[in-house]
């Protein structure tokens, strides 16, 4: 029997994407659609005292201009709307770049031109926009979705006091912003009290719930469609004001309205990775065995929401340390609300994994050996120790010269660094329907999302194997609330949440067709015990007598109607692990850093598709390079304005920055605790250790310990 799961299968939607056939949110053809354009505040704290919309309303093609005076009243939804307030419901301004008006016109250009003619006056108050200005105002926020912001195990104070080796170090990271290729886009179409929204969303069902709650309509009257995303890194998982405001004005005007954020608007209209400071106090034996860890972090919060998205889970779960105290503090700033940003546990792991490298240097214990000495055994599903050994062997780690600055190649110092990688993966309830049609084709239907990670492909592979048909006989439909419900595509949860239901539904559909065949007097399989029938490449075969066989097309065709099966299987959340090894070269005169080689070894449970999994590694490594070397949102402290809201000054890595060699190794052992065919959620893990590994490699190359990202050239120049 041919098996597709585990193989290197090309993306089933690849041709549609490269030929332009794939329709994203702003590509959907909608008759008579108007265009919306936001006007954003230019102060960070205060209130609107006057808005003059006269000139804007008189512009060509302008249909309406809404402000807080006439915007339809909306309810602030609970759940996946974290901003805490809805703009344009009153005159209050909570951050620079907050929507204060929405222009609707016949074309995008007309709406944008009219928006520039809206005149706004404010009563401005002095804002606080940096953690350094709120140093004494940090506090312990309430639990975030049930997860505590303080974890205590043992007696950390006593352990630190008694430790022969102690570290007390601080690390800093600026705010970072999502920059997907596809901007946030929303199109609202009302028809007889029912709303259809084409949305760039990582959670179509969550978006439906938030729209229904804000607009005061039943969820059954809202349909959300998101067939493809041109990048979804967390911010599209939550719902932001532009989506709700766009739907509200479309209902008011009585015509479809589409609002697409500009690149600059995306820096304040949806979430970002918060500015993050952390202090680690570590105690250990002279052999590098951890005895105590105190990890205190402070993240930027907003005046209207106290959610800490940069979690420190790894500190109290990754290593076998008996005494741990983790505190996740927050400080309210006059900035937009932060949110999930790919690998939200990365920020804390940058500090933890850098501190362990500092401990390694202090004790003289090799970084890999130190981590193995502190390895925490979490049962049969954890293969982190094997990741260390696989990665070290492939990288050639044991040839590493221990003394920093000892290796030079021409004008460059060469350094090797490593770090542990880990991230939690979530789980959401998911239902799936698999249908065998009268033509023998199989359709998968589930309201999950394709954010670029290979959802279409892997679900098609799973269904093809479960039913027993070739891959080209499977069509997968996702991204539509009319389909069986599923959760958000966040927290590396899509595959572990959806695969169990697709697999079960496929097996149930297969069993249903077999029952039809053996009960059908016209079938060559009539009277064969169902358990004897096997399926492969669209054929049903009697395993005891292969001469007796039938096809899906024939069986279901004679039946006269499609055979559906629906299943809902709940999985459990967990952790994915890995180890990353990095080589850097640092120019001795200019301080230029190049990442030239990366080897990552991972434990993702069972590998479902090697090609898409390796793609996640390449993406994670590349983004980790951006976090370490280039990315930095610059905020003017006096005004709260983002001064680099574009790709010319907010520097994301490009092909020239990517290392010429990225090797991805996989343990490929099914996790016995996973209902997703033994697979774990993986997408966010391959980024989590890369920034620390790069910083550790820079130290090994130069002897310079950098504790604040990005590691720019000025920090390395003597």
Q: Looking at the annotation, which residues are catalytic?
A: 684
The span from the CA of 204 to the CA of 478, in Å, is 10
| Beta-carbon contacts of residue 406 (< 8 Å; ≥ 6 apart) | none
Do 384 and 319 meet the contact criterion of CB atoms below 8 Å apart? no
Is residue 415 within 8 A of residue 698, CB to CB? The reply is yes
| Structural contact between residues 68 and 91, judged by C-beta atoms closer than 8 angstroms | yes
Q: Are strands 34-40 and 257-260 parallel, antiparallel or unpaired?
A: parallel
Q: Is the dihedral of CA 217, 97, 708, 156 positive or negative?
A: negative
Using CA atoms in the order 232, 274, 702, 693, what is the torsion angle rounded to 10 degrees? -50
Which residues pair with residue 189 across a beta bridge?
Answer: 196
Contacts of 313 (CB under 8 A, 6+ apart): 345, 348, 424
Q: Helix, strand, or coil here: 693?
A: helix
Tokens matching residue 395: 């990288």
The CA–CA distances, whole Å, from 296 to 114, 205, 310, 696 equal 48, 36, 12, 21
Q: Before 110, cis peptide (omega within 30)?
A: no
Place of tokens 């269904």: 463
Q: Which residues in 573-597 are b (16+ Cβ under 10 Å) and which e?
A: bbbbbbbbbbbbbbebeebebebbb
Eight-state DSSP code of residue 650: S
Residue 311 CA to residue 149 CA, distance in Å, equals 8
- Rounded CA Rg of the chain: 27
CB distance 229 to 494 below 8 Å: no
SS3 per-residue string spanning 390-457: HHHHHHCHHHCCCCCCCCEECCEEEEEEEEEEEEEECCCCCEEEEEECCCCCEEEECECCCCCCCHHH
Q: Is residue 184 a contact partner of residue 242, using CB atoms and an 8 Å limit?
A: yes
Tokens of 339: 């949110």
């Amino acid at each position: 029997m041919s098996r597709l799961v585990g193989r290197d299968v090309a993306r089933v939607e690849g041709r549609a994407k490269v030929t332009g056939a794939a329709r994203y949110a702003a590509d959907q053809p909608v008759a008579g659609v108007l265009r919306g354009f936001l006007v954003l505040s230019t102060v960070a704290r205060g209130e609107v005292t006057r808005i003059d919309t006269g000139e804007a309303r008189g512009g060509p093609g302008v249909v309406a201009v809404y402000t807080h005076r006439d915007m339809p009243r909306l309810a602030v939804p609970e759940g996946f709307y974290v901003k805490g307030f809805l703009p344009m419901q009153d005159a209050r301004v909570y951050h620079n770049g907050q929507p204060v008006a929405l222009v609707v016109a016949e074309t995008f250009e007309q709406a944008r031109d009219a928006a520039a003619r809206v005149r706004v006056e404010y009563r401005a108050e002095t804002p606080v926009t940096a953690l350094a200005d709120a140093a004494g105002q940090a506090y312990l926020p309430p639990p975030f979705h049930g997860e505590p912001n303080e974890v205590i195990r043992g007696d950390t104070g006593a352990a630190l006091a008694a430790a022969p080796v102690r570290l007390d170090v601080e690390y800093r990271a600026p705010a970072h912003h999502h920059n997907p290729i596809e901007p946030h886009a929303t199109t609202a179409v009302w028809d007889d009290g029912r709303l259809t929204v084409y949305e760039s969303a990582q959670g179509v069902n969550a978006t439906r719930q938030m729209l229904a709650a804000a607009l005061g309509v039943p969820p059954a009257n809202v349909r959300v469609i998101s067939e493809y995303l041109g990048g979804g890194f967390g911010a599209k998982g939550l719902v932001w004001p532009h989506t709700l405001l766009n739907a509200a004005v479309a209902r008011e005007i009585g015509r479809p309205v589409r609002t697409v954020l500009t690149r600059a608007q995306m820096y304040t209209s949806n979430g970002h990775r918060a500015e993050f400071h952390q202090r680690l106090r570590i105690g250990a034996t002279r052999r590098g065995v951890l005895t105590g860890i105190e990890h205190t972090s402070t993240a930027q919060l907003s005046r209207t929401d106290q959610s800490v998205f940069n979690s420190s889970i790894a500190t109290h779960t990754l290593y076998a340390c008996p005494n741990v105290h983790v505190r996740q503090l927050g400080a309210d700033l006059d900035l937009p609300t932060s949110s999930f940003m790919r690998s939200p546990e990365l920020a804390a792991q940058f500090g933890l994994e850098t501190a362990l490298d500092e401990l390694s240097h202090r004790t003289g214990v090799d970084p890999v050996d130190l981590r193995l000495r502190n390895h925490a055994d979490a049962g049969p599903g954890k293969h982190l120790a094997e990741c260390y050994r696989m990665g070290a062997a492939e990288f050639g780690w044991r040839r590493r010269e221990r003394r920093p600055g000892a290796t030079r190649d021409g004008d460059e110092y060469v350094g090797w660094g490593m770090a542990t990688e880990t991230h939690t993966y979530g789980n959401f309830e998911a239902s799936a329907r698999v249908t065998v049609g009268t033509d023998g084709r199989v359709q998968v239907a589930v309201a999950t999302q394709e954010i670029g990670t290979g959802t279409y492909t892997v679900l098609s592979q799973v269904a093809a194997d479960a039913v027993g048909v070739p891959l080209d006989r499977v069509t997968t439909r996702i991204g539509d609330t009319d389909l069986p419900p599923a959760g958000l595509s966040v927290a590396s949860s899509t595959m572990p949440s959806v695969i169990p239901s697709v697999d079960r539904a496929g097996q149930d559909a297969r069993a249903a067709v077999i029952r039809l065949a053996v009960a059908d007097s016209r079938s060559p399989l009539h009277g064969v015990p169902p358990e004897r029938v096997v399926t492969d490449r669209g054929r049903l075969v009697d395993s005891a007598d292969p001469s007796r066989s039938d096809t899906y097309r024939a069986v279901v065709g004679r039946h006269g109607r499609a055979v559906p099966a629906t299943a809902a299987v709940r999985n459990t959340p967990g952790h994915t692990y890995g180890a990353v090894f990095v080589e850097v070269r640092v120019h001795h005169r200019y301080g230029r850093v190049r990442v030239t080689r990366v080897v990552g070894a991972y434990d993702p449970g069972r590998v479902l598709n090697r090609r898409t999994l390796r793609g996640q590694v390449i993406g994670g490594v590349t983004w980790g390079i951006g976090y370490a070397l280039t990315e930095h949102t610059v905020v003017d402290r006096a005004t709260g304005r983002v001064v680099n809201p574009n790709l010319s000054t907010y520097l994301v890595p490009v092909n020239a920055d990517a290392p010429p060699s990225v090797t991805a190794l996989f343990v490929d052992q099914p996790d016995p605790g996973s209902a997703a065919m033994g697979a774990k959620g993986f997408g966010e893990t391959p980024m989590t250790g890369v920034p620390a590994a790069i910083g550790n490699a820079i130290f090994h190359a130069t002897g310079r310990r950098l504790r604040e990202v990005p590691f720019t050239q000025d920090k390395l120049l003597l």
